[in-house]
A and B are shown apart, each in its own frame.
Chain A
Amino acid sequence: MSNQSESPNPTSSSNKITLKTSDNEVFEVEEAVAMKFCTVKQYFDDENNNNVTSGTSTTLIPLPNVESHPLAILITYCKKHLEIKANNADNKKEMEIDMEHYEREFLKNVMPQELTELILAANYLNFKEALDFFCRAVASAIQNKSVEYVRKFFGLESDFKPGEEEKLREEFAWSFEGVDED
């Protein structure tokens, strides 16, 4: 999944951008992919402004807060995202269906602990679509789960005072309307 396969380029751009992760791995990605990472785009634009002569030469962008493992997954996700978008340029509904299908398959291969890494990496890279997707994924992981389960899942402890705890329970109480005896 994390391999840098030579998939057909979904856009016309053929410029490559090199990303360097915190664990010193180097990824060469299409410009179209890299530009989805707003943090990279920002850096890239700033670089270009400072160095107008750079032309098409490869730019090396350091990502000190991202490890290679989540980055590889995010690149795969991003490529697929662009590909689906390009394939369904004139049909938004079809695009959504394909995207949803891909995302469902995607999640099957993601461990809960990977989701944390991915969400943090997507957040740092400011990759909006992926961040939205992972937030949805986290939400569906805790959907229908008890409060205790969610606390365990996130390694959190309740920090409510005893009085507040009581009030919380009240929110869970359903009182029923009296029904006449029949």
Chain B
Amino acid sequence: MEKSNKENKDMDDGERVEWSELPKELLPKIGKNLDTRIDIIRFRSVCNTWRSSIAHFLSYSPRFPLIFPTPYPASTPIRTPAYLCQSTIYRLQSLNPSSTSSNKAWLIKVEQDSNSGGKFRLFDPISNRRTRYPIPNKTLNLFDSRVVELTKAYTLRYQFRAGSSTSTNEIDQVLSVFDTSIFGVNKVVMFPDSPWTNVNASAAFVIFNDGKLGFAKSGDEELILVDRESFDYDDIIVYKGQFYVINSLGIVSWIDHSSLKLVQFLPPLCGLGSQKHLVESCGALYVVDRYLDRERRVENDAFYMGGADCAQSIGFKVYSIRDKVAGKGQIGFWVSNVQEGNVSPLTISKETQNPFIDSKSECLLL
């Protein structure tokens, strides 16, 4: 790139300006458009001028886990607050691949816990189970890697103090697990959430109890039901700074989060699949309709065990929404991994022998 710059400079009679002439006062304006921590760390590592142009992050930006109202205040066995946890999925690739390590890219899912001194926890990006970091010294330096933040994911959990494990009581034994996700919470999204965000300005929506849509802000006492009449919401996503929700009929609406009104965005999709997902890929929004081998919904709320995990996917259909980018080509998909095929996410994670999942298995050819 540098070379072609110089060549152009020689070729042009007019004088080309160089980046070095970039006025310092524009650096914060540029830097503030970066909204992932890793990008900000990198920006601040370029040189001293850049480093001093933007802050590391703001003191009032969200730090996870955040205290959050539980969706089931009455039925919770023990009065304990819920926590909103954030995990991030990265694509990782070595910058200087040695002969021993391949040049493969890995998907990793990590969660940083601000309560434990900012330590990271590693999760299997597909099964979502906690995994162990495969390298003995327990650190990973991203300076030597090509790191791309793909997406953030949120979960609601109960957290318990490790101290309770001293009790012999059976319930306490179960609770000595550091944290457990809350049954029946299908999806949590939060926006805005960047190092430049004030945590009080962020809104979070929760789909729980197999289709209820709840809303709260960090620190709120309770979760508000957005829609008191229908409880058939399948998925919610933040797409270009806006919350979009889809119900089981395939009706996509956007949510005006100041008034909590749903505005229907498209005519119903009439997909015949069992479960709808909203997926963003390459700047476009898609609906993935998942076909399952049996009934997804579980009638008995009290013993809800995450119905979607029990039923197996047998196929997918993908619909694009407002397809302005369009075209064919490789699109890295998150939820889906098949071309209307019949591979379930679980199969892929079993096939992969590596501790991280090869990102290639995530590609979907449209």
Contacts and interface: CB of A to CB of B under 8 A. Distances in A.
Contact of B14 (A23, A100, A176): A23
Interface string B24-57: 0010011101101001011111111010000000
A156 B27 CA distance: 14
A171 B120 CA distance: 13
Contacts of B29: 131-132, 135
B2 interface: yes
B30 A171 contact: no
Contact of B43 (A123, A132, A142, A148): A142
Q: Interface SS of chain B: helix, strand, loop or mixed?
A: mixed
Given A117-B16, A154-B46, A158-B47, A101 B119 contact: no
B42 A179 contact: no
A146 B131 CA distance: 27
A173 B22 contact: no
A157 B139 contact: no
Given A120-B17, A146-B146, A150-B46, A155 B2 contact: yes
A113 B5 contact: yes
Nearest to B121: A177
Interface string B5-17: 1001000001011
Given A159-B48, A175-B120, A179-B132, A152 B41 contact: no
B46 A158 contact: yes
Contacts of A112: 1, 5
Interface in B124-164: 130-133, 138-143, 146-149
A155 B130 contact: no
Given A113-B8, A144-B149, A150-B43, A139 B120 contact: no
A116 B120 contact: no
A146 to B, nearest CB: 6
Interface residues of A, number: 49
B20 to A, nearest CB: 6
Given A113-B16, A150-B42, A168-B45, A176 B31 contact: no
Contacts, number: 139
Contacts of A150: 42-43, 46
Nearest to A156: B47
Contacts of B170: none
Nearest to B48: A159
A116 B39 CA distance: 21
* Most central of A112, A136, A147 by chain B CB within 10 Å: A147
7 interchain residue pairs of minimum CB distance? A139-B33, A172-B143, A176-B133, A154-B19, A172-B142, A179-B132, A135-B29
Given A135-B26, A136-B33, A150-B42, 11 more contacts: A116-B18, A131-B26, A142-B42, A143-B34, A144-B147, A158-B47, A168-B143, A174-B139, A176-B138, A176-B139, A179-B131
Interface of A: 23, 67, 69, 100-101, 111-113, 116-117, 119-120, 123, 131-132, 135-136, 138-140, 142-148, 150-160, 168-169, 171-179
26 contacts: A101-B324, A116-B16, A116-B19, A117-B16, A120-B23, A131-B26, A131-B29, A135-B26, A142-B34, A143-B39, A146-B42, A148-B95, A150-B42, A152-B2, A154-B20, A157-B47, A168-B143, A171-B45, A172-B45, A174-B139, A174-B140, A175-B119, A176-B133, A177-B119, A177-B120, A179-B122
